[in-house]
Amino acid sequence: MSTSSSSRHEPPRGRRHLAVVVAAVVTILIVIGGTALLVLRNHDSAPAGPGTTASPTSTAPSVSPSTTPPTVTPSTPTPDTTTPSTTPSTPSERASALRALTPFLTAAAKLDRQLQEAAAAINGAGPPWTTITPAVAAKVRAADLKPVARRIPAGLPPSLQQAVVLVYSDLSSRRHAISSFEIVGPFQPPLSAGETPTQVGLQQIRNGHAAAVRFDGDLAAARSLAAATPSIGKYPASSRKHAEVLLLVRYAELANGGCDTHGGAVLTRLPVIKWLEVPSVGTYWTTNGTINGLEFTAKFTGSWHIELLAC
């Protein structure tokens, strides 16, 4: 996707406004004998670290979410008066939307492999974790969400857009669940009273487990739906369809990595985007619309720039 965003990764603490509303699916598992539950897929339970033996007499505390995530209202398509370009001319291209979605699916599969490699490196280094080595940090940093986000096409029909956002949120949940392991040096995740770095690391890692388990199925479902969906046209860069892709990506990022979160948000329903007919202009902020009730500003200056007001 050619459109870019200059939005902040995490809005300033002082600007608290509307909470991010997500339909999050968080699976909380129990760690036996200090064995790490890592962000690995294809398993219904997380594997033990290399060379680690589980002890039947020792268990790590289970983690319970402080609140029950609210249900997100199903999305309705946002009106856009922009007309897409004509459909591709060859019969194979006219057959489905799979051609337009293949770059995204390929990038998502690559990131999945990188996340597995990062998880294996983390698992090989602990628990416990006291220091993050350059090798571990490099594996985590290599698992980059941006190439996946850039390949989400604009103007997908709602059902296919939901399938794509779900896949992206799976990856975002897993990536942010291990974000504390990307900094070389002493392992220092934010701690609450009485917690150890390893306890917090395990809690964060658990947040990505549900997304890892479901990823293969979600990716396959998106591929199948794309193959059954008519091919899509291309929208001009100024179309709001491009801004909406950025908004959905940023929403998933805030749900998983904003406001001191570390994964756990799987978007099983498409966030609702509503544009204001007339922007609301304030002293410090211009509101162009909302996404699931969260205010955003969107400005086109050759490319779209969006920002969400959160925390």
pLDDT computed for residue 2 by the predictor: 42
* Confidence label for 129 from pLDDT (cuts 50, 70 and 90): very high
* Mean of pLDDT values over 267-289: 96
- For residue 56, tell me if it sits in a domain: no
Distance of CA 185 to the CA centre of its chain: 26
pLDDT band at 310 (very low <50, low <70, confident <90, very high): confident
Flag whether pLDDT at 6 surpasses 90: no
Coil, strand or helix at 300: strand
E-assigned strand segments in the chain: 131-132, 185-186, 273-281, 286-291, 294-300, 304-308
Asked whether the predicted pLDDT for residue 46 surpasses 50, the reply is no
Residue type for position 124: G
Q: Which residue has the higher pLDDT, 174 or 80?
A: 174
Q: What's the confidence (pLDDT) of residue 23?
A: 37
Provide the 3-class DSSP secondary structure of residue 279: strand
25 in a structural domain: no
The reply to whether 263 falls in a domain is: yes
More confident residue, 189 or 79: 189
pLDDT bin (cut points 50, 70, 90) of residue 180 is very high
**Does residue 119 lie in a domain region?**
yes
The tens digit of pLDDT for each residue in 233-273 reads: 999 999 999 999 999 999 999 999 998 999 999 999 999 99
Cβ atoms within 10 Å of 73's Cβ, excluding its own: 14
Per-chain mean pLDDT for the chain: 79
* Backbone dihedral angles phi then psi of residue 297, each to the nearest 5 degrees: -115, 140
Would you say residue 28 has pLDDT above 80?
no
Nearest to 34 by CA among 147, 177, 201: 201
Structural domain includes residue 9: no
**Is 19 a residue whose pLDDT tops 50?**
no
Q: What is the dihedral of CA 122, 181, 44, 145, to 10 degrees?
A: -120
Upper half-sphere CA count for residue 161 (Cβ side, 13 Å) = 24
Contact of 231 with 87, CB cutoff 8 Å = yes
pTM comes to 0.73
User: pLDDT tens digits for 150-172?
Assistant: 999 999 999 999 999 999 999 99
Question: Is 165 in contact with 157 (CB distance < 8 Å)?
Answer: no
pLDDT of residue 80: 53
Residue 201: which pLDDT band, with cuts at 50, 70 and 90? Answer: very high
Q: How many domains does the chain have?
A: 1
Q: Is residue 182 part of a domain?
A: yes
DSSP label at 186? E
Going by pLDDT thresholds of 50, 70 and 90, the confidence category of residue 280 is: very high
Taken in order 191, 195, 200, 203, the sign of the CA dihedral is negative
C-alpha R_g of the chain: 20
Q: Does residue 288 lie in a domain region?
A: no
Average pLDDT over residues 45-74: 35
What's the DSSP call for residue 153? P
pLDDT above 50: residue 206: yes
pLDDT for 17 equals: 41
pLDDT of residue 265: 98
* pLDDT tier, 311 (very low <50, low <70, confident <90, very high otherwise): confident
Cβ neighbours of residue 66 under 8 Å, at least 6 residues apart?
none
**pLDDT of 16 strictly over 90:** no
Q: What percent of the chain has pLDDT over 90?
A: 66
- The secondary structure element, H or E, covering residue 113 is helix 98-125
Confidence band of 84 (pLDDT split at 50, 70, 90): low
Place of tokens 């929208």: 235
- Chain centroid to Cα 243, Å, comes to 17
**Domain, as residue range, for 159:** 91-271
**Within-domain flag for 266:** yes
What percent of the chain shows pLDDT beyond 70?
Answer: 69
Using the CB atoms, write b or e for 129-158: b if 16+ within 10 Å. beebeeebbebbeebebeebbbbbbbbbee
